[in-house]
Structure 1
Amino acid sequence: MNRLMPAPAGLPAMSPGDVDKVGKLEGFLGQLDQVAIATTHHFHAGLYARTIRIPAGVIITGALIKIPTLLILSGHATVFIGDDSLDLQGYHVLPGHAGRKQVFLAHVDTDLTMVFASQASTVEEAEAEFTDETDNLGSRRQNENLIIEGR
C-alpha cells in the first residue's frame, strides 16, 4: 500500500536577523584555524549534487541559499535553523527552503549532500545558481574537489 506523507518541516527560510547572526559567527570562525573539507560534485540527469564530510567536533557555516534544495544528512549534527536548532542523528532527507544560512556542528563525522535540479555544465555555474556567496564556498577556496559527470 502506498501512502502520501507530508514532507518533514526540514530547513526553513531564516529571518534577516538570524542570517545576520550566522554571518557574525562566520566572521569569528574565519579568524580561527580552518579545517580542509573536500567537496564532491555530481552532475547527472538534470541534477547537481554536492557532498562534504564535516569531521567530528568541527563547526561550519553555510552560504546563504537562494533556491529550494534537498539536504541529505548522514551522521550526527546540531543544525541552527533560526529561532531553533535541530539535533539530527542518523540519516535524514530534508527539504530546504530558499533564504537559509545554516550552522552545522558535527558530533561525529557527518556527510551532507545538497541536491537540486540544474542545467549547469560547470561547478561554477551550479554554485552561482544556489548562492550569491560563491567566493565564500570551500570549493572555491580549496583545491579539494572531485567532479563526477554522469550526464
Structure 2
Amino acid sequence: MKLTVTFNGFMRNKIVRLEESIRGLPQVELPVTHHFSKGLYARELFIPKGSVLVGKIHKEQNLNIISSGDISVLTDDGVMRLTAPSTIVSPPGTKRVGYAHEDTVWITIHATEETDLEKIERQVIAQTFQEFLDYTKSLKLEG
C-alpha cells in the first residue's frame, strides 16, 4: 500500500497550540450518534452554535458530510467555511479546529468492518502527529 502524506507544519503547530491553550477551559460533551453498515462506520456529531472544537488526527482518508449547519474549519490548508449540504474528503493526517456559526451536524465516515467503538478509535485515530508518522512509516514497510 502506498500512502503519500503532505502537511503544513506551521499550521499543524498552530492547531496543536490552540488545542493546548483551550484544554483548560470548560469542556462540553457533544452528542454523538454511531451508525454501522457493511464495511462502514459513520460518526454523527452535533455541534451547537458558538462551539469551538478541535478534532482528532485521522490515520486514513475519510468522507465527511455536513448535513446541516454552518461551520468554519482550520486545517493544514487554511480556513474553509462549510455550509450544509457539503461533502469533503479528508486526507490521512487531517486534524481540524472548528467554529460553528450555526448548529451543525457533521458526519465522518470510515471504512471498517469493526463495530467495537474502542477498537475503531484505535484503528482510525492517532493520538499525536508522531504516532501518525510512525503509522505511515509502518504502512510503507508493509507495502
Q: What's the counterpart of residue 11 of structure 2? A: 18
Unaligned stretches of 5+ residues in structure 1? 1-11, 135-151
- Report whether the alignment pairs 1:108 with 2:102: yes
Whether the 8 Å CA contact 2:64–2:87 is kept in 1: the answer is yes
User: Which residue in the other structure is 1:96 paired with?
Assistant: 90
Which has a greater percent of helix? 2
Say if 1:22 and 1:102, in contact at 8 Å, map to a contact too.
yes
Percent identical: 31
SS at match of 1:108: coil
Aligned length: 123
Deviation at 1:50, TM superposition (A): 0.5
CA distance in 2, matches of 1:60, 1:29: 9
Aligned to 2:124: 130
Alpha-carbon shift at residue 80 of structure 1 (Å): 0.6
CA RMSD of aligned residues (A): 1.8
Task: Name the counterpart of 2:113.
Answer: 119
2:48 corresponds to: 55
TM-score using structure 2 length: 0.79
- Superposed CA deviations along residues 85-128 of structure 1, whole A, max 9, x for unmatched, are 11112211111110111011000001111002101130011111
Q: Which amino acid aligns with 2:111?
A: A
Q: Are residue 72 (structure 1) and residue 65 (structure 2) matched?
A: yes
Misfit runs of 4+, over 6 Å: none
Normalised TM-score (structure 1)? 0.75
Give the secondary-structure state (helix, strand or coil) at the position aligned to 1:70: strand
Q: Which moved more, 1:62-71 or 1:77-86?
A: 77-86
Question: Which stretch of the first structure deviates more once superposed, 13-22 or 81-90?
Answer: 13-22
Partner AA of 1:100 in structure 2: T
Residue from 18, 22, 31 that aligns with 1:29 = 22
Q: Is the 8 A contact 2:38 2:113 kept in 1?
A: no
